[in-house]
Amino acid sequence: MHVLPLRPPSAALPQRILLVENSRSYTRMVAEAIEQKLGLPVTVAASLAEAHDALESHDDWFLALTGLVLADGNRDAVVDFFLDRGLPTVVVSGVYDEDLRRRVLRRQIIDFVLKNAPGSLDYLLWLVQRLERNRRVSALVVDDSSSARAYAAALLELYGYTVVEAADGDAALAALEADSTIRLAVVDQEMPGMQGIELARRMRSVRTRDRLAVIGVSGNEDPGLVAHFLKNGANDFLRKPFSREEFFCRVSQNIDQLELIGSLQDLATRDFLTGLPNRRHFLEQSERMLAKLLSEGEAITVAMLDIDHFKHINDTWGHDAGDQALRAIAAAVAGHARPQDLVARFGGEEFCMLVPGLARDEAHAYFEGLRHRIDTLQIMVNEEEVRVTVSIGITMATPQDSLSRLLCEADRCLYLAKAAGRDRVQPSWTPAASAA
């Protein structure tokens, strides 16, 4: 089904955050903000002893946020406590001390956040969300130097990314082709064979800017290098040697941008209520798919589906119940569709589908199956079961067909299905006796 990829459910990954601080007002504020704005569970502890008990009582830890001065330990003892347990850790400190900051960041601590600085809570929330999401992002590190590769890979892993390494351009292109989850590539310029700029150009020809961020890296002082990288498709550039903070900022900014593009694309192409592709997206996709399938001589069925007496559901159980029914039916439509089918919420209570590769009888049976699937849906509203039925009009493309004629014809059949009593599939042809 050509539904845009939904983000994999977060629930599959550990979500719990341990917040360790002796100031109750601070822990309350941070815990509330994380739970309400990010929807992640927070457990609060005021000492290492309480942190120990908390860690024992759950097994779904994702991150620790900790102060450095606690009743039963401070500074290195606190850092050791979390690092010994292998828990990704962010230090939240009440005092600005540059030596301390540097010392802490030399350890495997993710970040050092100043507690009372302006904007610090917003930064902390952004950081937690970024780290949470990074776990679903793969990053490719391309460098012929194994030590440089290991350095960048270790930093990316510290920030939660899944890392794929490549020692040259060809291996990088092969990795990119094999793994569609790679969203970020950190590419060194000075490599034998294909250099970084050429690799950036070739990567860009196979992955557009909305799907992959490329960061060029080089120790070369050549002043033209940055522009050269950017003109060849890189999004950003880092000069070696870079600090881990600079690295993290650049990487995060690029991934943030990629996500922003993704959510704008979602807004433009998805129906907000049901998550299905919207009418405009369906029409664009279908035009392209129809032309291709017709040229290949493939059978194509177009269907319009409308919920029966939907006004009655709204009037009887309320608009929210109507919305719930719409979501349930959308999920049934999406669940019935095969990977090659196009589906959309076409308007109010109307859905549309383009289904390739089925002969008349098969198409009829396919939509009968969908009608039955919706008939048997159990939609619970205020502990009451609401049943819904749908009417479906279907038609098949002829060799020179147009999308607008197919949609009109499916709509005409839908009207006939309604007129004949609803809860039925009405083909534009006379079904063989054994069909459906």
Ligand X SMILES: Nc1nc2c(ncn2[C@@H]2O[C@H](COP(=O)(O)OP(=O)(O)OP(=O)(O)O)[C@@H](O)[C@H]2O)c(=O)[nH]1
Where along the sequence are the contacts to ligand X (CB under 6 A)?
273, 306-312, 314, 319, 322-323, 326, 348-349, 418, 422
Give me the residue label for tokens 């094999």: 178
Sequence letter at residue 188:
D
**Minimum distance between the CB of residue 381 and ligand X, rounded to whole angstroms?**
11
| Cα separation values, 325 from 346, 377, 382, 425, Å | 16, 9, 13, 20
Q: Do residues 238 and 216 make contact, with C-beta atoms less than 8 angstroms apart?
A: yes
Residue nearer to ligand X on the CB measure, 301 or 391: 391
**Minimum distance between the CB of residue 67 and ligand X, rounded to whole angstroms?**
48
Residue nearer to ligand X on the CB measure, 248 or 310: 310
Strand 425-427 relative to strand 390-396, pairing: parallel
Q: Which residues are within 8 A (CB) of 352 and not within 5 positions of it... i.e. 6 or more apart?
A: 279, 282, 302, 303, 304, 305, 343, 344, 346, 407, 410
d(CA 297, CA 300): 9
Residue nearer to ligand X on the CB measure, 191 or 414: 414
Residue nearer to ligand X on the CB measure, 250 or 270: 270
**Minimum distance between the CB of residue 267 and ligand X, rounded to whole angstroms?**
17
Residue nearer to ligand X on the CB measure, 109 or 304: 304
* Torsion on CA atoms 112, 115, 116, 119, rounded to nearest 10: 70
Please confirm whether the linkage preceding 5 is cis (ω < 30° from 0).
Answer: no
68 sits in the region (left: phi over 0; alpha: psi -120 to 50; else beta) called alpha
**Minimum distance between the CB of residue 343 and ligand X, rounded to whole angstroms?**
17
**Minimum distance between the CB of residue 313 and ligand X, rounded to whole angstroms?**
8
**Minimum distance between the CB of residue 262 and ligand X, rounded to whole angstroms?**
24
Residue nearer to ligand X on the CB measure, 255 or 325: 325
Residue nearer to ligand X on the CB measure, 165 or 306: 306
C-alpha closest to that of 306 among 257, 349, 360: 349
What burial class does residue 212 get, using C-beta atoms within 10 Å of its C-beta: 0-12 exposed, 13-18 middle, 19+ buried? buried
Determine phi and psi for 338, rounding to 5 degrees.
-90, 165
Helix (H) / strand (E) containing 70: strand 69-70
Which residue, judged by CB position, is nearest to ligand X in the bound state?
A: 322
Residue nearer to ligand X on the CB measure, 249 or 273: 273
**Minimum distance between the CB of residue 414 and ligand X, rounded to whole angstroms?**
9
Here the tokens at position 213 are 């961020």
**Minimum distance between the CB of residue 123 and ligand X, rounded to whole angstroms?**
38
